[in-house]
Amino acid sequence: MPNQMTKEIMSALRDHFVARQHELLALTCALVETESPSGDKDGSSAVVSLLASAAGSIGAVNSVERITSEDFGEHVRIRAFAGENEAAPIVILGHTDTVHPRGAVKERPWRAEGNRIYGPGIFDMKANLALALEALRACEATEACPQSPVTILLTCDEESGSPSGRPLIEAEAKNARAVLVLEPSAAGGRVKTARKGTGMFTIKVHGRAAHAGLEPEKGVSAVLELARQTIRLHNLNNPATGTTVMVTVAHGGTHSNVVPDEAEAEIDVRFSSAVEAGRIENAIVNLKPFDERAQLTISGGINRPPLERTALVASLYERARELASLLDFELGEASVGGASDGNFVGALGVPVLDGLGIEGDGAHAAHEHIIVDNIARQGAVLSGLIATL
């Protein structure tokens, strides 16, 4: 460890988060109430303004750069603890967009209930944006001064597959000492040491319309063809290797008395290894129609590579676990099906630890919430990592 961590310093970090919990939650509340569904440029900019102004009050922050994304709003890159330090930076990765449409906060407003706080996008991941800024403050306020510069990169299009965020993430990650990803933790606050990769495909079927009652034999049903392709696609599932293929959205046809000449479906694909990714992609792009009179058009492809639990990932997890044990809690790990921007980083061979966000549940769902009692210890682990990597 370049910076030896002690029980005293970890306790001081935790105490810092306890003392600042009110401010942390106030910023979180402002972020939640400023809705930023992925692709909503005004919402994105408004959230970035809140973050930029919060970052501006932290002494360790050297610069705040707002980076325009044409279709999604603004990314923000915050550099801290830079000074003369030429060591490779620690990169903290997060996203400011959510899956919740505008109006969700009106329907399900910020609500504290016992140990939980509910709010659209709070768990994935607005509370974690506030946590990251507070971690800088915690390091500054205690004896946990980082050995390396810290870069916080918050992108605005993660929930849309990161089309404009990805090159920024890869550019920062490439030179990083380690990348810490603020995605929601798994049940019980566990970090994520493996994630499946994802692919998204669309299949369009072109058939031929005809009167469904008078001369159905002249038609070619695109819906029937799509149904048969759906079964074929589901046969690609392989639970033993963790591969899943699912037709998630399907529609077709025009009127109840017409043989449907068009049908379309979206396909969600997940895999744990690059080999499986290749197998599935190959099978999908080479689909042939059952009825030769029908035509298939396939688009899409592999979106995120799998995040595999390499030795680098495992050693970073081990470090986090040691820090947690100084606060007498056992930090678990999980392997999950959902992908994140951590997948891009893992594929670069950079040490990455994902799922470092605050404990909670219900990401993307109506019951999305965080658990308040464990914010301080999770903040301490994040700060401890920043201080010792």
Interface with Zn ion by CB under 5 A: which residues?
124-125, 183
Identify the residue whose tokens are 């994105």.
44
Q: What are phi and psi of 239, to 5 degrees?
A: -60, -30
Nearer to Zn ion among residue 131 and residue 284 (C-beta): 131
Nearer to Zn ion among residue 125 and residue 210 (C-beta): 125
Tell me 88's DSSP state.
Answer: P
Separation CA 197–CA 340 (nearest Å) = 9
**Residue in 105, 311, 36 with CA at minimum distance from that of residue 194:** 311
Cβ 364 to Zn ion shortest distance, Å:
9
Tell me 66's DSSP state.
Answer: E
Nearer to Zn ion among residue 40 and residue 183 (C-beta): 183
Question: 3-state class of 380 per DSSP?
Answer: helix
Q: What are phi and psi of 165, to 5 degrees?
A: -80, -30
CA distances from 286 to 93, 235, 329, 332 (A): 36, 15, 50, 41
My answer on whether omega of the bond before 246 falls inside 30° of 0, hence cis, is no
Cβ 254 to Zn ion shortest distance, Å:
38
Nearer to Zn ion among residue 93 and residue 265 (C-beta): 93
Q: Which residue is nearest to Zn ion (CB)?
A: 124
Cβ 317 to Zn ion shortest distance, Å:
19
Cβ 171 to Zn ion shortest distance, Å:
20
Cβ 366 to Zn ion shortest distance, Å:
17
Cβ 373 to Zn ion shortest distance, Å:
22
Determine whether 206 is exposed, middle or buried from the number of CB atoms within 10 Å of its CB (0-12, 13-18, 19+): middle
Q: Which amino acid is at 250?
A: A
Cβ 144 to Zn ion shortest distance, Å:
27
Nearer to Zn ion among residue 172 and residue 368 (C-beta): 368
Nearer to Zn ion among residue 193 and residue 221 (C-beta): 193
Nearer to Zn ion among residue 124 and residue 359 (C-beta): 124
269, 201 Cβ separation under 8 angstroms: yes
Q: What are phi and psi of 337, to 5 degrees?
A: -85, -30
